[in-house]
Amino acid sequence: MLRLFGPNCDGSPVEVGATTRIPDDVVWIDLLEPTREEEALVEAFIGSNVPTRADLAEIEPSSRLYERQGTLYLTMSTLTGIDEGDPSSSPIGFILTPGHLVTVRYADPRPFRLLAEHLKREPDLATDACHLFVRLLDAVVDRLADEIQRVAAEIEKISRQIFQKDLEDRRIPAARLTAMLTRIGRAQSLLAKIRETAVSTSRLIHFLAATNRVRRLEDERDHVGSLAADIAALIDHSSFLSEQLTFQLDASLGLISIEQNAAMKLFSWAALVFLPPTLVAGIYGMNFDHMPELHWFYGYPMALGIMLVSGIAPWLYMRKRGWI
């Protein structure tokens, strides 16, 4: 899909045909899962090649961030799939010419949708490619901040569930422990995607801040510098949250071990309590001819009494030692 934004373009999808022409006053050219015809049209307009999907997947800094003949070629990973519950990161390519911004993407992150809707309502806001690009980066950073806050809130909920004030409330059934581990895993997965996007965005912002394009513009230079500070703070905060999740994972596994040990302890003292009576019952259950107690009037009550005492005595001893 090809969309054009500018003073006279409202961002509606453009059907590419033999006579299709891109207006000269267009500022933002957005390619979402472009066809070869759409790529060829844009390449002819800007006089430069549009990166393919394979080009966007390159991870070397020299392949993602470089400048050639006054045109900036930038690629960064962007967080997607949050609203659908399947977070992932997708590379997005940017071509910043002196008068135009071209974005090439195979995902539709929320910051792009919000900016496109804003420009669709007010097309006159798209007047400068560099300013629009910085504004788009600002939306991406804001989105990362929102998602980090969301992860922080989830971590707080998990922490309250693990460290209940009442000791009895900490005895969590196996099903709930499994659900808790799943929540921790999903939060860690989302945080990893956020951190990946934040690091990629940080590299792009620092590269952009070092270019002559931004240095010559005081407002954009200050804005990019502010974004660099914000993204650095988000990276530090994501590291802190990652440590919190690791601690909560260890605590959850500790709770599981406590539950398992409690169950084994129950079986152990139960076996110890019932073992002596079983021994007594086994002795008097043997079929020997010469067992005087078998013909004694009080033999049966005596055997029951011995079994009762032999079962209660170990239980009292373990209670006194504080083992149960």
Q: Name the more confident of 88 and 31.
A: 31
Is pLDDT at 83 greater than 60 in this prediction?
yes
State how far the Cα of 2 lies from the Cα of 37, in Å rounded to an integer. Answer: 10
State how far the Cα of 305 lies from the Cα of 310, in Å rounded to an integer. Answer: 8
Contact yes or no for 158/212 (Cβ under 8 A): no
Give tens-digit pLDDT for 40-65.
888 888 888 888 888 787 766 556 78
Residue with tokens 């629009």: 132
Q: State the span(s) of the chain assigned CATH 3.30.460.20.
A: 2-259
Instruction: Compute the mean pLDDT over every residue in the chain, rounded to the nearest whole number.
Output: 82
Give me the CATH code for the 2-259 domain, please. 3.30.460.20
Q: What is the pLDDT of residue 316?
A: 78
Q: State the span(s) of the chain assigned CATH 1.20.58.340.
A: 260-321
Mean pLDDT computed over 260-273: 73
Is pLDDT at 223 greater than 60 in this prediction?
yes
Architecture of domain 260-321: Up-down Bundle (1.20)
Phi, psi at residue 211, to the nearest 5°? -85, 155
Contact yes or no for 109/147 (Cβ under 8 A): no
Is pLDDT at 170 greater than 60 in this prediction?
no
Q: Nearest 5°: CA angle at 288, between 282 and 291?
A: 85
What residues contact residue 300 under an 8 Å CB cut-off, 6+ apart?
A: none
Q: What is the pLDDT of residue 313?
A: 81
DSSP string, 26-62: --EEEEES--HHHHHHHHHHHTSPPP-HHHHT--SHH
Is pLDDT at 234 greater than 70 in this prediction?
yes
Give tens-digit pLDDT for 107-132.
888 888 888 888 888 777 778 888 88
Q: What is the pLDDT of residue 289?
A: 67
Q: What is the pLDDT of residue 142?
A: 92
Chain-centre distance of CA 297, in angstroms? 76
